[in-house]
Chain A
Amino acid sequence: MTTIFGIPLQALLGQLLIGLINGSFYALLSLGLAIIFGLLRVINFAHGAQYMLGAFIAWLLLAHFGIGYWPALILAPLLVGLIGAIIECTMLRRLYSLDPLYGLLFTFGLALTIEGTFRYLYGASGQPYATPALLTGGANLGFMFLPIYRGWAIVFSLFICIGTWLLIEKTKLGSYLRAATENPVLVQSFGINVPLLLTLTYGLGATLAALAGVLAAPIYQVSPLMGSNIIIVVFAVVVVGGMGSIMGAIVTGYLLGVAEGLTKVFYPEASNIVIFVIMAIVLLLRPAGLFGRDA
């Protein structure tokens, strides 16, 4: 059997694929963060909580209303997006004129409040969420047994990432958004409702986080801690990709997922710090991040 550094090639391929699956969650989450930071200049620490909310709403819909995975995949993100929009309108908006630190502290407090509430209500152990019937089972790829649901997670997140990138970079609405953050006064004077655009942006970021949450529910337990477990890694992804760079967030998400996967084969003890080591190296060599433009 062919081996690379003592690891059979087949096992390596399996680990690469698993890295890509985890990477797709990193990509989806860092995408939302990058959009919010890039357009609003807000460091959204509540992103993990919004991811957790997405998963929890999907679980609540199933447990209390019998609404299954597919409707929840649309309903839960929309609901969280709406909550995000309300938060932006009523609270976050007041902080734009202040130092970005205030936005960070506000969203951090928000995250702690939301997570604390859910932990109080539902405990720290996760709630089980069954894989939808259509996507159960797995396929033998020869080098590994791939659960169909995980395959779906890669395809779906790739689709959403590309779709969001096109929306912001290639559509008229996207160009308004970008313009509104570049020079809000000028854009407003053209008769475009800038505050509404900003609300939509924050709502979109929250929606993306919740979408990742619903996607994660059948794989991980639906737990109040799921957001805080992943959020720090996602921040590292955004920093490595270049703060605010949307394409950077997506590509780095997948890349770091793979890097983490490979570490789990060669030196598992380091698997939860490898991303931060990479972050430190990137910051030393390219402070603006891999895809960032130097300010």
Chain B
Amino acid sequence: MHKKLIATLAMVLASSTAAMAGASDGKIKIGILNDQSGVYADFGGKSSYEAALMAVEDFGGKVLGVPVEVVTADHQNKPDIASNIARQWYDTEEVDSIMELTSSSVALAVQALSKEKKRITINTGAATTELTGKQCSPYGFHWAYDTHALAVGTGGALVKQGGDSWFFLTADYAFGYSLEENTGNYVKENGGTVVGAVRHPLATTDFSSFLLQAQSSGAKVIGLANAGLDTSNAIKQAAEFGIVQGGQRLAALLFTLAEVHGLGLEAAQGLTLTEGFYWNRNEESAKFGKRFMERTGKMPNMVHAGTYSAVTQYLKAIEKAGTDDADAVSKELHAMPVNDVFAQNGTVAPNGRMIHDMYLLEVKKPEESKEPWDYFKVLATIPGKEAFIDPAQSGCELVKS
């Protein structure tokens, strides 16, 4: 009896791993897993799901002759909940790939699980360089940005302007540490100093106490190594405590169009930030932005545009590979250049990092903004090679082989 059971099991396993040409279950299913109700709900949120749907529709709704379906869920920024959803998607709902994955702690957990299950993850929402560093995966891709790019972009710009001593307000989890470390290292390499840091819990509403500590540190730049509502609240409250008038500068290290919109130009004007996408950069991006706006009521930031790009590239890779088998698709994803509304001449490194240009942006003054959502001036284009870690230095074991 036992032997028979094991034999059947072995047969089932063999038939599922021996990937035959074509889609294995008559359907391609993509899961968008992110924060839809918490501090990062506007950063990515439901709009990322819309971006994925848009990509599928633009692709024609089908690949290899089978329909493409997009499912979505809210992980509430909790790695355990996220892992449970991912497990359920893979085991019982035949989801082929999970994308977006805002929040680094979640992204690391789901990427590790997907590596074990041999499924592809394309991460557009989370920031930590660990995803393509020590914890990299042959099935894991990091698409829109990372903490290194933010450090080089925003950190670099402020150091060049004379901001050589830094104090960090850091979100107390994987992402915050990564951003603080990357930026701190960059500052030190360029002759600056880090005078201190304070760690605050995720979703803090009152920053006054932390800001007071930053103020009394005497640092020239206060680096906000946090994101979403946390950053918005910190900036707003810094204005109240006269921090900028007192001669200190704020560095919002991860700040996107969505948060600028929430904060308002009055409070956000003059901030320098780094994004992988800005809708009003050229004609093509503006056209995409307006289509997105019609669906969601807001303009896309780099997470939304990045998710559109990731879904599109994934479908292209399946088409080229002629199968949805993760090994074959991953091989194509690593080989194909990325050319779409998000990235121009993007390449995917062996560690899974998609290398593309980033943009150094400045928030406009209210009187400079000509239309709704016209928020940024493009100060500089940061070439992909500068923005992202040299794959050979990333610590990812896949690079050497």
* B39 CB → nearest A CB, Å: 7
Cα–Cα distance between A126 and B37 once the two chains are bound (Å) = 13
Residues of chain B with a CB closer than 8 A to A131's CB: 240
Chain A CB within 8 A of B267 CB: yes
Chain A CB within 8 A of B345 CB: no
| Stretch among B86-94, B127-135, B203-211 lining the A interface | B203-211
Cα–Cα distance between A261 and B212 once the two chains are bound (Å) = 11
- Looking at B198, B203, B228, B229, the one whose CB has the most chain A CB atoms below 10 A away is B229
Cα–Cα distance between A125 and B208 once the two chains are bound (Å) = 19
* B205 lies within 8 A of A229 (CB): yes
Residues of chain A with a CB closer than 8 A to B185's CB: none
Number of A-B contacts (CB under 8 A): 109
Residues of chain B with a CB closer than 8 A to A15's CB: 209, 212
* B233 lies within 8 A of A119 (CB): no
Residues of chain B with a CB closer than 8 A to A125's CB: 41-42, 228-229, 232, 258-259, 261-262
* A254 CB → nearest B CB, Å: 15
- Looking at A18, A19, A124, A147, the one whose CB has the most chain B CB atoms below 10 A away is A124
Q: Closest residue to A120 on the B side, CB-wise?
A: B46
Residues of chain A with a CB closer than 8 A to B198's CB: 268
Mask, B216-245, CB within 8 Å of A = 1, is 100000000000110011001100111000
Chain B CB within 8 A of A193 CB: no
* A17 CB → nearest B CB, Å: 9
Chain B CB within 8 A of A221 CB: yes
Within 8 A of A (CB), among B181-205: 198-201, 203-205
Residues of chain B with a CB closer than 8 A to A119's CB: 37, 41
* A92 CB → nearest B CB, Å: 26
* B334 CB → nearest A CB, Å: 35
* B48 CB → nearest A CB, Å: 13
* B262 lies within 8 A of A127 (CB): yes
Within 8 A of A (CB), among B291-312: 298
* B229 lies within 8 A of A221 (CB): yes
Residues of chain A with a CB closer than 8 A to B267's CB: 128
* A129 CB → nearest B CB, Å: 10
Cα–Cα distance between A57 and B258 once the two chains are bound (Å) = 23
Chain A CB within 8 A of B19 CB: no
Mask, B354-385, CB within 8 Å of A = 1, is 00000000000000000000000000000000
Cα–Cα distance between A145 and B239 once the two chains are bound (Å) = 11
Given contacts A18-B209, A22-B206, A226-B205, contact A138 B241 (CB under 8 A): yes
* A138 lies within 8 A of B240 (CB): yes
Mask, B32-74, CB within 8 Å of A = 1, is 0000011101100100000000000000000000000000000
* B201 lies within 8 A of A124 (CB): no
Chain B CB within 8 A of A105 CB: no
* B47 CB → nearest A CB, Å: 9
Q: Closest residue to B236 on the A side, CB-wise?
A: A221
* A219 lies within 8 A of B240 (CB): yes
* A256 CB → nearest B CB, Å: 13
* A11 lies within 8 A of B232 (CB): no
Cα–Cα distance between A219 and B208 once the two chains are bound (Å) = 10
Q: Closest residue to A14 on the B side, CB-wise?
A: B212
* B212 lies within 8 A of A144 (CB): yes
Residues of chain B with a CB closer than 8 A to A221's CB: 229, 232-233, 236, 262-263
* B369 CB → nearest A CB, Å: 15
Cα–Cα distance between A34 and B5 once the two chains are bound (Å) = 62
Residues of chain A with a CB closer than 8 A to B242's CB: 138, 145, 147
Cα–Cα distance between A192 and B21 once the two chains are bound (Å) = 82
Cα–Cα distance between A229 and B208 once the two chains are bound (Å) = 17
Residues of chain B with a CB closer than 8 A to A150's CB: 208, 240
* B209 lies within 8 A of A264 (CB): yes
Mask, A118-161, CB within 8 Å of B = 1, is 01000111111011000000100000110101100000000000
Residues of chain A with a CB closer than 8 A to B206's CB: 18, 22, 219-220
Within 8 A of A (CB), among B227-280: 228-229, 232-233, 236-237, 240-242, 246, 258-259, 261-264, 266-267
* A268 lies within 8 A of B210 (CB): yes
Cα–Cα distance between A14 and B215 once the two chains are bound (Å) = 11
Cα–Cα distance between A131 and B233 once the two chains are bound (Å) = 14
- Looking at B198, B201, B212, B267, the one whose CB has the most chain A CB atoms below 10 A away is B212
Residues of chain B with a CB closer than 8 A to A219's CB: 206, 237, 240
* A147 lies within 8 A of B240 (CB): yes
* A11 lies within 8 A of B264 (CB): no
Chain A CB within 8 A of B8 CB: no
8 closest cross-chain pairs (CB), A and B: A125-B262, A124-B41, A125-B42, A264-B209, A128-B264, A272-B201, A147-B240, A18-B208
Chosen A-B contacts, 24 in total, with CB atoms closer than 8 Å, are: A10-B216, A11-B212, A21-B208, A22-B208, A119-B37, A123-B262, A124-B39, A126-B232, A128-B236, A128-B266, A128-B267, A138-B240, A147-B240, A149-B240, A219-B206, A220-B236, A221-B229, A225-B39, A261-B209, A265-B213, A268-B200, A269-B201, A271-B201, A271-B209
Binding site for A on B (CB under 8 A): 37-39, 41-42, 45, 172, 198-201, 203-206, 208-210, 212-213, 215-216, 228-229, 232-233, 236-237, 240-242, 246, 258-259, 261-264, 266-267, 298
Query: 15 more A-B contacts (CB under 8 A) besides A126-B232, A264-B213?
Result: A8-B216, A18-B212, A123-B41, A123-B42, A124-B39, A124-B229, A138-B242, A147-B241, A219-B237, A219-B240, A220-B206, A221-B233, A268-B200, A269-B199, A272-B204
